[in-house]
């Protein structure tokens, strides 16, 4: 039996999207691919409401590649990276591994990063780049990225704002130009509801200007080359995963038809239902007021076996996620993103209620 995925990603992929990957492969240097890829870029610009000073690209990679992109193509000398979970920690570690200086603004797992925390730190150091994870899926925390962006624009406009929106873009409302992001990126196996293997990146004009000033940008991580190649050829500089691009093209059509606002409201409804249920029986792990719209992280206050739950959920055709790393069995996570709808979330939670006898 297929176990429908309610984990922080990958998420469920519809049969219609899976079928798109069975189309005959085309040359990535031919006119047919140019039409496909330019169409995808235009659809992304429309969906994300990007003005002319913002550009988008699709890389054949996980979203993690974009940590390297920031480290190699954006950070000149020193970055401040906000850490409140496992993936923001990876962001900081990766930028440092690229040979750049990194300071970490760390808070306890489960807590959010506030604009005033960042402002205080930026005032005390000479930073050229800020890294923030919008949706920390290891803890279910949603950092207030719009407020952070407003503060940066007002108080530190010289600092490049780079945002990991891997598990929130296309579910939660991420509009890079409104936030003031210079670089933001997402993985398609999350809210885009595709198989893993692609990442969507959005880059501002001023980020590209910064990148041109930086030596040793690498090859696959060279933002200048990526956008120069597209400007000249309307293709990707390196061989892309064409089957996944067929799937992305179809998925974007469906997303544009639904509209970003309706997608956002659907994700809000799923999060609200899940978190109200969690608060009734358990305690949310994420700081109140900063709960994710795509991944709910719940404290296992009843001491239930999450592993045992998943074994029994398999018989009902569902799978949730244990806590991440050191939070295993202490928490559990329910992903509600992508093509999931409220009725499906209610059904899955009813199955948990039955297995754990929560309503007795």
**Band of residue 359 on the pLDDT scale cut at 50, 70, 90:** confident
My answer on whether 270 and 234 are in the same domain is no
Q: What is the pLDDT of residues 117-175, one digit of tens each?
A: 999 999 987 999 999 999 999 999 999 999 999 999 999 999 999 999 999 999 999 99
Q: pLDDT value at position 124?
A: 83
For 306, the domain range is 4-11+260-356
Q: pLDDT value at position 86?
A: 98
Q: pLDDT value at position 1?
A: 78
| CATH code of the domain in which 352 resides | 3.90.1150.10
Q: pLDDT value at position 53?
A: 98
- What average pLDDT does the segment 184-213 reach? 98
Picking from 233, 257, 281, the residue at the C-terminal end of a domain is 257
DSSP string, 152-214: HHHH-TTSEEEEE-TTTBTTB---HHHHT-SEEEEETTTTT---SSEEEEEEEHHHHHHHHT-
My answer on whether 211 and 250 are in the same domain is yes
My answer on whether 175 and 82 are in the same domain is yes
**Band of residue 360 on the pLDDT scale cut at 50, 70, 90:** confident
My answer on whether 235 and 105 are in the same domain is yes
Picking from 240, 257, 274, the residue at the C-terminal end of a domain is 257
Between the CA of residue 284 and those of 179, 304, 318, 321, what are the distances in Å?
27, 15, 21, 15
Of all residues in the chain, the percent with pLDDT exceeding 90 is 98
Classify the phi-psi angles of 9: left when phi > 0, otherwise alpha if psi is within -120 to 50, otherwise beta. left
Average pLDDT, the chain: 97
| CATH code of the domain in which 205 resides | 3.40.640.10
Picking from 257, 290, 307, the residue at the C-terminal end of a domain is 257
Q: What is the pLDDT of residues 283-325, one digit of tens each?
A: 999 999 999 999 999 999 999 999 999 999 999 999 999 999 9
My answer on whether 236 and 277 are in the same domain is no
Q: What is the pLDDT of residues 237-265, one digit of tens each?
A: 999 999 999 999 999 999 999 999 999 99
Count of domains in the chain? Answer: 2
My answer on whether 80 and 178 are in the same domain is yes
By CB neighbour count within 10 A (0-12 exposed, 13-18 middle, 19+ buried), where does 299 fall?
Answer: middle
My answer on whether 196 and 274 are in the same domain is no
My answer on whether 161 and 274 are in the same domain is no
Reported as type and span, the H/E element at residue 80 is: strand 78-83
My answer on whether 119 and 215 are in the same domain is yes
My answer on whether 204 and 309 are in the same domain is no
């Amino acid at each position: 039996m297929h176990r429908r995925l309610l984990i922080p990603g990958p998420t469920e992929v519809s049969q219609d999207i899976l079928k798109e990957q069975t189309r005959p492969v085309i040359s990535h240097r031919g006119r047919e691919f140019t039409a496909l890829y330019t169409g995808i870029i235009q659809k992304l610009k429309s969906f994300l409401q990007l003005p002319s000073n913002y550009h988008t690209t699709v890389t054949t990679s996980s979203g993690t590649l974009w940590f390297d992109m920031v480290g190699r193509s954006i950070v000149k000398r020193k970055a401040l990276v906000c850490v409140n979970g496992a993936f923001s920690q990876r962001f900081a570690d990766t930028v440092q591994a690229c040979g750049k200086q990194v300071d970490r603004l760390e808070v306890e797992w489960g807590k959010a990063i506030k604009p005033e925390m960042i402002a205080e730190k930026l005032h005390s150091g000479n930073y050229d780049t800020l890294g923030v994870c919008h949706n920390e899926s290891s803890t279910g925390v949603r950092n207030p990225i719009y407020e952070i962006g407003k503060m940066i624009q007002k108080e530190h406009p010289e600092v490049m704002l780079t945002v990991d929106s891997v598990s929130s873009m296309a579910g939660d409302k991420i509009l890079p130009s409104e936030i003031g992001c210079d670089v933001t990126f997402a993985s398609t196996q999350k809210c885009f509801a595709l198989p893993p293997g692609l990442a969507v990146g959005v880059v501002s004009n001023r980020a590209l200007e910064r990148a041109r000033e930086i030596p040793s940008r690498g090859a696959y991580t060279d933002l200048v080359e990526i956008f120069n190649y597209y400007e000249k050829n309307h293709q990707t500089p390196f061989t892309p995963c064409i089957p996944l691009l067929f799937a992305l093209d179809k998925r974007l059509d469906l997303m544009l038809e639904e509209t970003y606002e309706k997608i956002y409201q659907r994700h809000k409804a799923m999060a609200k239902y899940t978190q109200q249920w969690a608060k009734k029986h358990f305690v949310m792990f994420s700081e109140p007021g900063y709960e994710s719209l795509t991944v709910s992280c719940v404290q296992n206050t009843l001491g239930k076996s999450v592993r045992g739950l998943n074994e029994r959920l398999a018989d009902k055709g569902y799978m949730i996620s244990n806590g991440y790393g050191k939070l295993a069995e202490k928490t559990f996570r329910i992903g509600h993103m992508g093509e999931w709808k409220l009725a499906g979330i209610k059904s899955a939670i009813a199955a948990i209620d039955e297995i754990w006898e929560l309503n007795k």
